[in-house]
Amino acid sequence: MEHGPRLRADGTAAFRVWAPRAGAVTLWLDGAEFAMAPEACGWFAAEAPAGAGARYAFRLDGGPPRPDPASRRQPDGVHAPSALVDVDALPFRVGRWEVASLERAVIYELHIGAFTLPGTFDAAIERLDHLAELGVTHVEIMPVNGFNGVWNWGYDGVAWYAVHEPYGGPEGLARLVDACHARGLGAILDVVHNHLGPSGNYLGEFGPYLVEGARSTWGEQLNLDGPDSDPVRALVTGNVVQWLRDYRFDGLRLDAVHALADQSARHILAEIADTTAALESELARPLLLVAESDRNDPRTVVPRSHHGLGMHAQWADDLHHAVHTAVTGERDGYYVDYDGLPDVARAWRDGFLYNGRWSPYRRRTVGAPLPDTVEGHRLVTCIQNHDQVGNRPAGERLTALVPPELVRVAIVLLLASPTTPMLWMGEEYGETNPFPFFTSHPEQALGHAVSAGRKEEFADFASWRDAEVPDPQDPRTFSRAKLDWERLGTPGGQARMALWRDLLRLRAEHPALADRRREHVTVHAADATTLLLERRAGSAAAVAAANLAGAAVSVALPAGTWTMRLDTQDPAYGADGERASVEGSTLTIAARSAVLLVSVCQASVCQTSVCQTSVCQTSV
């Protein structure tokens, strides 16, 4: 059930395609045609002289040429013939590499087209040293598979195995992954298997790849459990193998897995997990699977050995939503489910805030409790990402919604947590350019439909119903999304960078902040404006405290001797107001600020390397 062509050393290529709806299939290869031999279960095969770069397509029952469902390259767009790729000749130079484990991961999400002005893989390479110096360990790249048009978020892909040509094609992607590894950065690719885009999807002509009449929010559903679904599942798992093996990615982020409709005894996610585990053994390097799911289902990250789905981690939106409501005060749409700082505390401790709770927004009970055996690093959290920014009407970043002092508080609430933090591109220096939804569908009717549909998406948000929504098809909508890297060199940009850098270093080096066990979180105070949380690891301890009020507030510290390690009111971070102070067991926090304190080291702690760093300057 292996989809796609294979080049051979003798100058020929073997072509295979699953097309059970066709009585006959003809291979079109650089203008010549070859009859394909039918095989069992709807497969067709042919061999012909061909090398890398050769164009090919399939004619189904004499119809027009169609691109390969498993095409590795679409040089002329998703409607045109496919091209052969020699994956063994991709320009990799790094032979062996090591990346941080998930327990120590700091992820940076980016969109290739908007990350730099040129919007290419090669241009992105020029910014990797910046990320490594900041403290990032993994670069997560939004989808780069083949989609219609020139620019797009990437979730409208129809050529799952191909690499978007304007970004730099297969060779450019290989250079980017290789450059990540040369700097010790892991590379994670965002992949979409829950639906296909609205233009260039020819799968239905080949066979029952899709469920007729069944649609998700974004498009037709994949046939994962119906008749003839085995080859469809093989298309998915084969795609997983391609990215991890041929393009040397260290992990995949699986988009919206709750939209994978599958009633099989072995869910497609479990099959992906099993396939990845086997590949991990074969390649002798760790591989990471991160699922996006809104179900808050613990089974997603429970190992296969314990009858779970076997994902190593999942995106967890609860912490984002809690922090967002705390600093912005928004309670519209799905934010009605969240209660600011008290929910921040619950998200730190429980992982899933909706763990069997009634959701006013969904009008039903959501989630199940996350066992303490599932440590915090299995939850990828953020204060911004492409969804939470881009799904606003105008794509406003947090920097456009709240003043800098509250952004600094949000950063502390993220990085002091036991979860795996993820940065959204540009937030490390306080990017202000928006990231609105954008497309470039060449078909005029489709473009108009996308533009109209975008304006209808905000009915659940009363405050957004009359908001101005940029036209996704307008080229200016895309150009406005590009990062303004000149801001990095400004005093404000450098101050914001200093805060992220210091927090990431402190998080990595202090034992209590490096610990990922949620059960070691103690909530000492949590109300509408004040939060004080303690984390412990052995005899090491750390306290994170925040004050959202407009005046200073005093709170009682837990027992121990504490040293201030970080205050968001430090002028080094761009602040110019009152600072926090400690008198005895009382902590006074300035208005709209957050602090981190650590306990004085005990002998067992001071025998660790942390005491050799600038972070640990407490008395012994």
How many angstroms separate the CA atoms of 390 and 399, rounded?
14
Type of residue numbered 243: W
Type of residue numbered 105: A
- Classified as helix, coil or strand, 472 is coil
3-class SS letters over 555-577: EECCCCCEEEEEECCCHHHCCCC
How many angstroms separate the CA atoms of 239 and 268, rounded?
13
Active-site residues: which are they?
255, 292
40 to each of 228, 262, 280, how far by Cα in Å? 12, 25, 31
Nearest-CA neighbor of 254 among 298, 312, 193, 297? 193
Nearest-CA neighbor of 218 among 457, 427, 36? 457
- Classified as helix, coil or strand, 586 is strand
Q: Are 598 and 541 in contact (CB under 8 A)?
A: yes
Sort residue 129 into left (φ over 0), alpha (ψ -120 to 50) or beta.
alpha
The answer for residues whose C-beta is within 8 angstroms of residue 387's C-beta and 6 or more apart is none
Q: Where are the alpha helices (DSSP H) in 268-403?
A: 268-283, 317-328, 341-350, 386-390
The answer for residues whose C-beta is within 8 angstroms of residue 274's C-beta and 6 or more apart is 266, 304, 310
